[in-house]
């Protein structure tokens, strides 16, 4: 029964519905603006590191030099994952989906956390730091294991981004590539109440622990319409393969009513500000590796798709963060099916901040537990309930 205090307003997909307040980030889709705790994403990407951004998201301020040093040391100490988790990964089929492995790995890590049964802000902060530190290790370890190799131990002398690339390849990356990876992590760290963050907050609202909340977020991110989009972009570029095939490919896809991945966004009505930062990185890496094709194809696909939308529908279609991150990761020799796990390696910072805010922040003007209503449309027996016929007479 719906009371006067709880009237249903049907809004499929929750588009335009503010479900809670937050101090963490804001997305202005009309202006193409993204801010973390008051700071523009452009400034954070240019002037800070991923570790500084994590600190900002968790503690609501940028760290001093001494605070950053202590924080980086703390993160690096937490990178190792328990031997029991490595053993569990070794028992998984080598063709398992990486996001399924990551989701399972997050749940397994809960069994080894000394703070798992403590529910207070300090314990949640400690859990957050462990999870942020270990997500990269999980992803890199799985890639080594599925290829029949032993995981590469974390290098405590390297920053978070450089260490991930090192664990993935066994080689210390050059400073420029490491810096570009760091920028990618900054750009993907947070994006308000997107699908995976909402999943994390919804689970957190039940007072489940952070590992349960993050596991739900990883599951949400695995979908091709959310975190899986950048992998789909790269698969598209690989399928096109030649600049002369771009026009025919776009025409065929649009004529068939299919999407061009990486273009269009649920929130942005103009180009995603993060895409503007990633595009020149893709170009630089293309030149650096001597293989500019993937950047060249990306530009051609973007330009020709935008022109087609303008001609066919009279609208501008924005570019989102997934579009250029695809070629950037490919240039870094990250396997395509790890693109979404790399997204999670970054977004864990935002997820953790949201779980803490949901459970302890006091900033949200909503009931404690998320419990939306639904509109029942199952008119199986007209306006009345169905009469149940005993099984002997059916």
Predicted local distance difference test score (pLDDT) of residue 366: 66
Q: Are 293 and 286 in contact (CB under 8 A)?
A: yes
What integer is the mean pLDDT of 263-271?
A: 84
* 288/89 Cα distance (integer angstroms): 35
Residue with tokens 């999670």: 344
Predicted local distance difference test score (pLDDT) of residue 383: 84
| 147 and 243 fall within a common domain | no
Residue 382 domain flag: no
| The pLDDT of residue 311 is above 80 | yes
* 184/41 Cα distance (integer angstroms): 11
Q: Comparing 58 with 364, which gets the higher pLDDT?
A: 58
Residue 378 domain flag: no
Predicted local distance difference test score (pLDDT) of residue 326: 96
| 163 and 257 fall within a common domain | no
pLDDT band at 371 (very low <50, low <70, confident <90, very high): confident
| The pLDDT of residue 207 is above 60 | yes
Helix (H) or strand (E) holding 235: helix 229-240
What integer is the mean pLDDT of 186-197?
A: 95
What integer is the mean pLDDT of 181-204?
A: 96
What integer is the mean pLDDT of 202-227?
A: 94
Burial of 330 (0-12, 13-18, 19+ CB in 10 A): buried
Count how many domains the chain has: 2
* 320/229 Cα distance (integer angstroms): 10
Q: What residues are paired with 25 via a beta bridge?
A: 36
| 186 and 267 fall within a common domain | no
Residue 162 domain flag: yes
* Candidates 265, 271, 272, 354; catalytic one: 265
**Digit-coded pLDDT (tens) for 316-350:** 888 999 999 999 999 999 999 999 999 999 999 99
Predicted local distance difference test score (pLDDT) of residue 298: 97
* 150/162 Cα distance (integer angstroms): 19
* 261/216 Cα distance (integer angstroms): 24
| 147 and 210 fall within a common domain | yes
What residue numbers bound the domain in which 80 lies?
Answer: 12-227+338-361
What would the DSSP string read from start to end of 62-114? PPPHHHHHHHHHHHHHT----HHHHHHHHTS-TTS-HHHHHHHHHHHHHTT-T
| 51 and 173 fall within a common domain | yes
Q: Are 186 and 48 in contact (CB under 8 A)?
A: yes
**Digit-coded pLDDT (tens) for 27-38:** 998 899 999 999
pTM: 0.93
* Candidates 113, 160, 322, 354; catalytic one: 322
Which domain CATH number covers 61? 1.10.580.10
What integer is the mean pLDDT of 12-38?
A: 88
Q: What are phi and psi of 192, to 5 degrees?
A: 55, -145
Number of Cβ within a 10 Å radius of residue 373: 11
Using CA atoms of 8, 9, 11, 12 in order, give the dihedral in degrees to the nearest 10: 30
| The pLDDT of residue 4 is above 50 | no
Angle at Cα 320 formed by Cα 184 and Cα 305, nearest 5°? 135
| 115 and 248 fall within a common domain | no
Question: Active-site residue 272, yes or no?
Answer: no
| The pLDDT of residue 160 is above 80 | yes
Helix (H) or strand (E) holding 343: helix 339-356
Q: What residues are paired with 26 via a beta bridge?
A: 35
Task: State how far Cα 38 lies from the chain centre.
Answer: 21
Q: What is the largest CA-CA distance in the chain?
A: 78
- Domain-ending residue, one of 312, 331, 350: 331
What integer is the mean pLDDT of 199-218?
A: 97
Residue 304 domain flag: yes
Q: Are 117 and 126 in contact (CB under 8 A)?
A: no
**Digit-coded pLDDT (tens) for 89-139:** 999 999 999 999 999 999 999 999 999 999 999 999 999 999 999 999 999
| 125 and 36 fall within a common domain | yes
Predicted local distance difference test score (pLDDT) of residue 5: 43
Predicted local distance difference test score (pLDDT) of residue 91: 97
Residue 371 domain flag: no
| The pLDDT of residue 2 is above 70 | no
Share of the chain above pLDDT 70, in %: 95
Predicted local distance difference test score (pLDDT) of residue 12: 66
Angle at Cα 73 formed by Cα 109 and Cα 157, nearest 5°? 100
Residue 385 domain flag: no
Question: Active-site residue 112, yes or no?
Answer: no
Predicted local distance difference test score (pLDDT) of residue 1: 34
| 35 and 101 fall within a common domain | yes
| 210 and 326 fall within a common domain | no
| The pLDDT of residue 221 is above 80 | yes
Cα radius of gyration (the chain)? 23
Q: What are phi and psi of 35, to 5 degrees?
A: -130, 140
| 68 and 84 fall within a common domain | yes
pLDDT band at 3 (very low <50, low <70, confident <90, very high): very low
| 125 and 218 fall within a common domain | yes
Predicted local distance difference test score (pLDDT) of residue 379: 87
Which domain CATH number covers 251? 1.10.230.10
Query: What are the counts of helices (DSSP H) followed by strands (DSSP E) for the chain?
Result: 16, 4
What integer is the mean pLDDT of 147-164?
A: 97
Averaged pLDDT of the chain: 93
Helix (H) or strand (E) holding 170: none
Task: State how far Cα 110 lies from the chain centre.
Answer: 20
pLDDT band at 88 (very low <50, low <70, confident <90, very high): very high
Residue 5 domain flag: no
* 193/123 Cα distance (integer angstroms): 24
Predicted local distance difference test score (pLDDT) of residue 34: 96
* 225/222 Cα distance (integer angstroms): 9
Predicted local distance difference test score (pLDDT) of residue 106: 98
Residue 393 domain flag: no
Q: Are 301 and 237 in contact (CB under 8 A)?
A: yes
| 218 and 319 fall within a common domain | no
């Amino acid at each position: 029964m719906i009371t006067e205090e709880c009237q249903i307003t049907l809004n499929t997909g929750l588009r335009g519905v503010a479900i809670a307040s937050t101090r963490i980030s804001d997305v202005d889709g009309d202006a193409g603006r993204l801010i973390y705790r008051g700071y523009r994403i452009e400034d954070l990407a240019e002037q800070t590191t991923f570790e500084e951004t994590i600190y900002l998201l968790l503690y609501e301020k940028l760290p001093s030099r001494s605070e950053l040093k202590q924080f980086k040391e703390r993160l690096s100490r937490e990178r190792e994952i328990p031997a029991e988790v490595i053993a569990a990964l070794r028992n998984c089929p080598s063709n398992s989906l990486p996001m399924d492995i990551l989701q399972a790995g997050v749940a397994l890590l809960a069994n080894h956390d000394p703070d798992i049964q403590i529910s207070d802000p300090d314990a949640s902060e400690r859990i957050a730091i462990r999870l942020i530190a270990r997500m990269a290790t999980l992803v890199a370890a799985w890639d080594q294991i599925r290829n029949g190799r032993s995981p590469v131990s974390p290098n405590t002398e390297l920053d978070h981004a450089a260490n991930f690339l090192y664990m993935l390849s066994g080689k210390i990356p050059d400073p420029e590539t490491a810096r570009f990876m760091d920028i990618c992590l900054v750009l993907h760290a947070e994006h308000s109440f997107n699908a995976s963050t909402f999943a994390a907050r919804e689970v957190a609202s039940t007072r489940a622990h952070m590992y349960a909340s993050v596991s739900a977020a990883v599951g949400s991110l695995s979908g091709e319409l959310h975190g899986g989009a950048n992998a789909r972009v790269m698969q598209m570029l690989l399928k096109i393969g030649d600049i002369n095939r771009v026009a025919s490919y776009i025409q065929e896809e649009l004529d068939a009513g299919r999407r061009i991945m990486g273009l269009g966004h649920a929130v942005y009505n103009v180009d995603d500000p993060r895409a503007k930062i990633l595009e020149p990185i893709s170009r630089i890496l293309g030149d650096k590796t001597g293989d500019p094709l993937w950047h060249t194809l990306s530009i051609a696909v973007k330009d020709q798709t935008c022109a087609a939308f303008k001609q066919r529908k009279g609208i501008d279609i924005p570019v989102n963060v997934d579009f250029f991150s695809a070629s950037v990761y490919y240039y870094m020799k990250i396997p395509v099916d790890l693109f979404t796990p790399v997204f999670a390696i970054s977004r864990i910072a935002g997820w953790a901040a949201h779980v803490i805010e949901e459970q302890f922040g006091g900033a949200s003007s909503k009931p404690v537990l998320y419990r939306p209503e639904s509109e029942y449309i199952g008119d199986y027996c007209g306006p009345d309930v169905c009469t149940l016929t005993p099984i002997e007479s059916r």
